[in-house]
Structure 1
């Protein structure tokens, strides 16, 4: 028995030569951060010099897709390589059940693991959960409401903890999740953060018609778009400053060359407020943090989907699921590259990291696929389709395969929409009637997938985010 146990442990470890080459890994995940919110993705006013530098030193992807339209589902795909709709019990309330996570796999193969910032992936936050050695003290949904006691941005404390973790484990391979609360509501930067950003004169013509509609909604609700855009971008700049501090620490420790740093977002930009729309009416004013009005804070949700997309959080339009994705690893990733071809997904994170770190997994166990070729400078040609569906019985599913995006419907008279993303990334021209053969093929494929999903879902106490 002892001999067999020793043999199994030995086989679970990667060869010494491979272990020596394995990178440290840092995954920075913004919250409700639109494709067009970083300056390097084209935002006319964003001040994100450290994200821009990260992109200049690595690869910036334009077709990376989140696995969900709200916070927990997107994180579920990243952690498990599975589409969220396949979980009958909502992970925010129940965790991932028997599904293996990337942190567990890395932990079993010699990595020290840490998680700092937002959680929203289960009720247990004790060290050892999902193979995570250290879980920071600023996790949970309540963290997004906290402000540090000094004049830094609201996410500074989690970066303090992450940097301390890296300093302690610099001599061994480490994996770190840094999951920001920025730019999730409530956005209410302190005066020092606003002053660091400076004034903003907003030229609305620099944005898309969809974004200008957001500005008009803001005005109808009694807000000033320039004021609220400034608050949003100041919050984002404070996150960028913390990313810069983290990158500088890697330089100081001599870790930059062999550290894979990734930045992304859990889904696209949030709507202006819960009651956004032409018929929205201002609610009764209530005092929020620092004497500001709750309504004013809600109007600070000025995230941007970029020049090509429409939609945002809560939608599976490209503006809701196509998000920034930047990869830097000086030892292996080409600098200054923009990948406009590879269609990759948050569900690919687990199998791709396993390929990079030499961990053997069964590809059929995951909905994502190994897209490490794209991460390391090549082009990934997708073989598996991407699917979206919320964890509710009658929600409408969506399919992306090749250039075709099909928005299905479970409603009796609901509209089915088919788009060619190569020609129409904004999903404005429904080709369902003009492409009957494509529609039939994809409708059957989507129906076959939805038939495999749970018939009912259990959300527990979680109400979504």
Structure 2
């Protein structure tokens, strides 16, 4: 064989092998879905057969942590591998600046890239933003949705767009974000979506005291907990139905074996807030989805699960520990539950780079390569996890191994220390009983906050 021909064949074989080794990647991100809101995470009434099957065919994690307690900060960590408090300009208003994203890195390394659904990571939506080839037409806030008229749930359009993108790029490696609006307020399922879920007879004793308090508040506000929980779960089921359509399409296209499918949530369940003023007056108002304002507020029935307390807007585990399911039949063990690996949304970028063979400088990122956990081993965390909102005087939080420290910037604010192994519900403050641990972690937390911007700029977006 002639040398030139041999070189061409060798190069082509090399490209083919690299392509075969690199998976297609689909990242599905729910919005405000609590740790316990799926059947496979123990919810007594959830109907999520497709996500349950995804977990059975892959690995389900119990200690995956979002990088923020509202929508933009959580997405910032996933896209950039950086903790959101390190951004002086709030990314929802100003974008990521010079920080590189996972989509840019993958695009530079031969991936077709698409983003469908919620955005909330800047104001620029043109193709090419963050290295994304195609940005879908449904990026707006959930209260701007129009409900589909075919009996499907409110997020159906983004799945149709994502499936179209996958069909067009099935012959090359692709990366797709599908960022749901479900289960963010306003939750206002159509009658067809409610009928598809079916009836619900609620036994409140099946839930934790914290969830029972939510039921009690719902009653105080004039609602029926069973009806509002049904509306919430019907909304979630409609998302699960769309995930089922997506997974079926992967099978039809022969992409199942070499496609890494990941499902998670941006933070924990939204709280149920008591309405201000005259309840009867509130009930006459309509939210922008056309639903009764009081009713859609009462539909915030997300569940933190049997162990956690807190939810969205808090650094408690109920706010930052979220579902995380990974399936990649060629590489990820089926039927596995990882209850040991502590991983973060900030790990998504370095982990994917490791999996796809992209070289990065690990020191440039706050997350770490936890791909070992994704592929079936236990990840022993090296870097601590930190949380802080993008405001100067907000209270920071630190997680190191089993210890979680909630700091305070207030002069007389309470500092709390918890042993998550013994107390995942963060109920027993050990600050006085563990002075050496408290001192060590307080110093570590102070050292981190000292590196952060002294002031923050938010623009028009104050959070979601």
TM-score category (smaller protein): over 0.9
Change (3 A) 1:99 1:169: same
Q: Does residue 374 of structure 1 match 2:373?
A: yes
In the other structure, the counterpart of 1:49 is 49
Q: For residue 157 of structure 1, what is the aligned residue in structure 2?
A: 157
Q: How does 1:30-109 map to 2 (within 5 A)?
A: 30-109=30-109
Indicate the RMSD between aligned Cα atoms, in angstroms. 1.4
Please tell me whether residue 183 in structure 1 is matched to residue 222 in structure 2. Answer: no
Shift of 1:151: 1.5
Q: Is 1:256 the counterpart of 2:256 in the alignment?
A: yes
Query: CA deviation digits over 1:35-82, x for unaligned, max 9?
Result: 000000000000000000000000000000000000000000000000
- Cα deviation for residue 145 of structure 1 reads 2.9
Which residue number in structure 2 is paired with residue 464 of structure 1?
A: 463
Q: Distance in 2 between matches of 1:288 and 1:105?
A: 40
SS at match of 2:417: strand
In the alignment, the residues of structure 2 paired with residue 347 and residue 127 of structure 1 have an alpha-carbon distance, to the nearest angstrom, of: 24
> Is 2:119 the partner of 1:125?
no
Asked if structure 2 preserves the Cα contact closer than 8 Å seen for 1:28 and 1:263, the reply is yes
Cα shift readout 1:179-207 (whole Å, capped 9, x = no counterpart): 00000000000000000000000000000
Q: Distance in 1 between matches of 2:215 and 2:369?
A: 40
CA contact (8 A) 1:144 1:186 kept: no
In 1, are the aligned partners of 2:194 and 2:234 still within 8 Å (CA)? yes
Shift of 1:287: 3.0
Distance 1:114 1:303, change over 3 A: same
1-structure distance, mates of 2:287, 2:78: 33
* Aligned-residue offset at 1:142: 5.0
> Using the alignment, how far apart are the partners of 1:176 and 1:213 within structure 2?
38
Query: How many residues get paired?
Result: 449
Q: Does structure 1 residue 284 correspond to structure 2 residue 276?
A: no
Number of the residue aligned with 1:327: 326
Structure 1 partner of 2:10: none
What is the distance in 2 between the residues matched to 1:44 and 1:281? Answer: 34
Partner of 1:208: 208
How many angstroms does 1:141 deviate by? 1.6
SS in 2 for 1:284: helix
Task: Write the distance in 2 (CA, Å) between the matches of 1:376 and 1:295.
Answer: 45
For the residue of structure 1 that corresponds to 2:282, the secondary structure is coil
Structure 2: gaps (5+ residues): 1-13
- 1:26 touches 1:177 (CA, 8 Å); kept in 2? yes
Aligned to 2:430: 431
What does residue 146 of structure 2 align with? 146
- Hey, what does 1:446 align to over in structure 2? 445
Q: Matches of 1:281 and 1:394 in 2, distance apart? A: 34
After superposition, residues 315-354 of structure 1 pair within 5 angstroms as: 315-354=314-353
Matched residue, 2:8: none
Give the TM-score, by structure 1 length.
0.95
Pairwise CA distance, 1:284:
2.3
Whole-Å separation in 1 of the counterparts to 2:168 and 2:277: 51
Which runs of no fewer than 5 residues in structure 1 stay unpaired? 1-13
**Offset of 1:288 from its aligned partner?**
4.1
Kindly provide the CA deviation profile for residues 395-431 of structure 1, in whole angstroms up to 9, marking residues without a partner as x: 0000000100000000000000000000000000000
Taking the aligned partners of 2:101 and 2:413, their CA distance within structure 1 comes to 36
**Cα separation, 1, equivalents of 2:457 and 2:288:** 34
Q: Distance in 1 between matches of 2:155 and 2:135?
A: 15
The corresponding residue for 1:410 is 409
State whether structure 2 residue 389 is matched by structure 1 residue 390. yes
Aligned residue number for residue 220 of structure 1: 220
Q: TM-score, normalised by structure 2?
A: 0.95
Secondary structure of residue in 2 paired with 1:47 = coil
Q: How far is 1:280 from its partner?
A: 8.3
Q: CA 1:444/1:291 → structure 2, altered by over 3 Å: closer, same or farther?
A: closer
Q: Which residue does the alignment assign to 2:244?
A: 244
In structure 2, what is the Cα distance between the partners aligned to 1:181 and 1:291? 16
1:290 Cα deviation (Å)?
7.8
CA distance in 2, matches of 1:113, 1:309: 36
1:305, 1:80 → 2: CA distance?
27
Q: 1:286-325 to 2 correspondence within 5 Å?
A: 286-288=285-287, 292-325=291-324
Decide whether the 8 Å contact of 1:76 with 1:84 is kept in 2. yes
Contact 1:77 1:83 in 2 (8 A): yes
Distance in structure 2 (CA, Å) of the matches to 1:287 and 1:388: 35
CA distance in 1, matches of 2:290, 2:343: 43
| Match of residue 6 from structure 1 | none
Give the Cα–Cα distance (whole angstroms) in 2 for the partners of residues 411 and 301 of structure 1.
31
Map Cα deviations across residues 342-393 of structure 1 (whole Å, 9 max, x no partner): 0000000000000000000000000000000000000000000000000000
8 A Cα contact 2:143 2:289, kept in partner: no
Matched, 1:115 2:99: no
Contact 1:117 1:143 in 2 (8 A): no
What's the offset of the Cα at 1:463? 2.0
Question: Within 1, Cα distance between the matches of 2:39 and 2:278?
Answer: 33
Shift, 1:15, TM fit: 6.1
SS in 2 for 1:256: coil
